[in-house]
Chains A and B, each alone.
Chain A
């Protein structure tokens, strides 16, 4: 890690990028330090996290139960699959122009965007997980006299948890990314919007410093979720 930073510093001091607009490592990192003193930055970080986490929560609370229900009904699954397939590959950035018109550059817009990004994917993952029950287990349970309800409650839902966990992991990362997009491009009050301000007002060090903050936030969220996942889906390696 240190080696990379060194390379960066050297590259900007002597290399082809020197004298250009790419800030040197020292400048960016000291700007980072300076930024942390500013209350606006902490507010902006909070806003970004608020958009990401609220959106994540809403999409999880709506998406997973819906997905489980869809997965339990073969008819619903077959009907919805094309719709889900279509929407889950559309990056939310595509709908930003319309969403900005309707919501304005607000926090709500950001939350809506995050939910849009995650909802279809979570529904799909949950449905898929519920359907994908091991036939060996299913046969065994049926032989032992398990009813349909038993099967759903004791086997399908726990069996779907690994898939759902994967979906949530993707959603955690996506929530952060989309929150940034909402700020950067949609103008929602957040760190992304702050970054754009810095960039357009010609403050490269601060702009770069914010990039570093994004990286740290993203990594942090991912790590926290990893620990959580290991607790919930303890039987998978």
Chain B
């Protein structure tokens, strides 16, 4: 998959070009306001670039392409409060033409995967923040997406839950091998989860560097973060985000 993406009207982004291979996990980081969310909106097809093209599997993206899944920061507003958890997940599945039994099986599968088996009949607002985000992740995996986009998915949960959810993402990644692009403010998180980190910087923003993260799998909150390479990587990326390199 290949992205060449420039600008918004205010010259938000210019000269963005990077590619994401199948099964890869890329994080997008940069200073606040640089245009990370704009980039995501371009990637999902919700917004059109003023010049340049976005391609997924060689096809140009002009509107949200099939095989897309999203997990956004504000889980209370991306899940429908008038539907149960299972209805929330089954809604996109119905679009895909699955049979009733297939849908039920899929829901069971993904709910177990995210550790929420048994909560199908609950309403989102009956669950904690972390659990709601798990539901959003479950919904994302349920559609077997070609591309998963996450926009600061863990920014609205507490630090403890954040670690749990990061590990959940690693597990899902291991089990399902979904191509993922994630925007985050948290550089440690970016290094921990990704195969590569795209650093945006400047006004208008461009790709300052693409940092390959070679940390071995399976990764572990204590061990991986304790490694020397981890510290080197995060320092390097952090310095770039702060404009010191």
| A78 at the B interface (CB under 8 A) | no
Pairwise interchain contact B80-A143, C-beta atoms closer than 8 A = no
Residues of A in contact (CB 8 Å), total: 17
Are A143 and B44 interface neighbours, CB within 8 A? yes
Contact indicator A145/B66 (Cβ below 8 Å): yes
Q: CA A234 – CA B81 in complex, angstroms? A: 9
Residues of B61-92 whose CB lies within 8 A of A: 64, 66, 68-70, 72, 74, 77-78, 80-82, 91-92
Partner of A145, one of B41, B68, B72: B68
Tell me whether B46 and A143 are in contact (CB under 8 A).
yes
Interface set, chain B 135-193, CB cutoff 8 A to A: 139, 143, 149
Contact check, A144 vs B95: say whether CB atoms are below 8 A apart.
Answer: yes
Q: Which residues of B, 107-129, contact A by the 8 Å Cβ criterion?
A: 123, 125
Residues of A within 8 Å of B69, CB to CB, are: 143-144
Residue A155 is within 8 A (CB to CB) of chain B in the complex: yes
Near B by CB (< 8 A), chain A positions 131-186 give 134, 136-137, 139-140, 142-146, 150, 154-155, 158, 161
Partner of A142, one of B46, B82, B125, B139: B46
Size class of the contact patch on chain B:
20 to 34
CA A96 – CA B143 in complex, angstroms?
59
Contact check, A140 vs B123: say whether CB atoms are below 8 A apart. Answer: no
Task: Knowing A145-B66, A158-B80, A235-B123, say if A150 contacts B72 (CB, 8 Å).
Answer: no
A interface residue numbers (CB < 8 A to B):
134, 136-137, 139-140, 142-146, 150, 154-155, 158, 161, 234-235
Closest 8 CB pairs of A and B: A136-B77, A235-B81, A144-B92, A140-B78, A143-B70, A158-B82, A143-B64, A134-B77
> Using a CB–CB distance below 8 Å, which chain B residues touch chain A?
41, 44-46, 64, 66, 68-70, 72, 74, 77-78, 80-82, 91-92, 95, 123, 125, 139, 143, 149
